[in-house]
Amino acid sequence: MERTLLVLKPDATMRRGVGAAILERILDALPDARPLGFVERGVPKSLAEQHYFIHKGKFFYSWLIQFIRVGKVVATVLEGDDVVKRLRAVLGATFVDKANPESLRGKYGLVGGVNVAHASDEPGNAEKEITLWTRRTSLDIGSKGRNSILAYIEKWQGTPIRATQQIRSLCREYTQSYSSRAHYQERITNLLIGECPSWTRRKIQKLADAVLGNMDLDKD
Ligand code: ADP
Ligand code: MG
């Protein structure tokens, strides 16, 4: 029996319908997996850095630490046979543009590494991540998580998801010149507003900034 850590990133939690759809698909795809604990909260810088310590020094590291802190995340643990690999398969490849369009990242990810969720990559790392998150947050793996997940799905599943493709094409347009950043940030913010009820415009602007920031990483 294995365990894995699932964290919905701010592009999924702020786009409430996306968060709900992802959780619903995971319960559906892994019906035998047991959710343990559930928490929705912001990520302090120190937790973000510990969670992503293996990426320290890489060119995308500062972006990643900023991105995971744009809004609250949802964290839960899944327990089941071969659950690490099976959850990664449902999630899809790291980059939204390369992920199978039917996978969660391919379907709901915004662009590049703005890819809706983290899932542990192998059982040993999963246990380390679970230890970290249970120490640093109120994630309680002694408690059952399924009811909290179902309540989250029920609360947010009606929220529209309609801007994904438009945001992807604005990002492609942006990378053709990397100019007019403020203009693109504004347009992406406006598109996200319909998907992000209960978040302030300022927060949504930060999400749009992180989206463009991921594009900026590819600039020569
Ligand atoms: P995964 O999340 O699939 O395990 P990694 O552990 O390699 O992927 O990277 C952690 C996160 O960092 C990714 O999910 C993505 O958000 C971001 N990331 C990784 N590589 C890049 C990159 N080359 N450019 C932009 N973002 C990246
Ligand atoms: Mg990883």
Query: Of 51, 55, 118, 183, which is the active-site residue?
Result: 118
Q: What is the mean pLDDT of the chain?
A: 97
Domain identity same for 18 and 107: yes
pLDDT digits (tens, 9 = 90+) for 158-171: 999 999 999 999 99
> Cα separation of 16 and 198, whole Å?
9
pLDDT at position 154:
98
- Which of 156, 174, 208 is the C-terminal boundary of a domain? 156
pLDDT digits (tens, 9 = 90+) for 129-141: 999 999 999 999 9
* Residue 217, ligand 1, Cβ within 6 A: yes
| Domain membership of residue 49 as a residue range | 2-156
pLDDT at position 6:
99
Domain identity same for 110 and 191: no
pLDDT digits (tens, 9 = 90+) for 35-70: 999 999 999 999 999 999 999 999 999 999 999 999
Domain identity same for 119 and 90: yes
- pLDDT band at 127; cut points 50, 70, 90: very high
Please compute the mean of the pLDDT values over residues 184-208 and round it to a whole number.
Answer: 97
C-alpha dist (Å) from residue 22 to 11, 42, 63:
12, 19, 23
Instruction: Give the ligand at the shortest distance from the Cα of 215.
Output: 1
pLDDT at position 220:
75
Please compute the mean of the pLDDT values over residues 180-208 and round it to a whole number.
Answer: 97
pTM: 0.98
E strands within 57-174?
73-80, 117-119
* Residue 216, ligand 1, Cβ within 6 A: no
- Which of 156, 172, 205 is the C-terminal boundary of a domain? 156
Domain identity same for 134 and 28: yes
β-pair type (73-80, 2-8)? antiparallel
Q: 26 CA to middle of ligand 2, Å?
A: 18
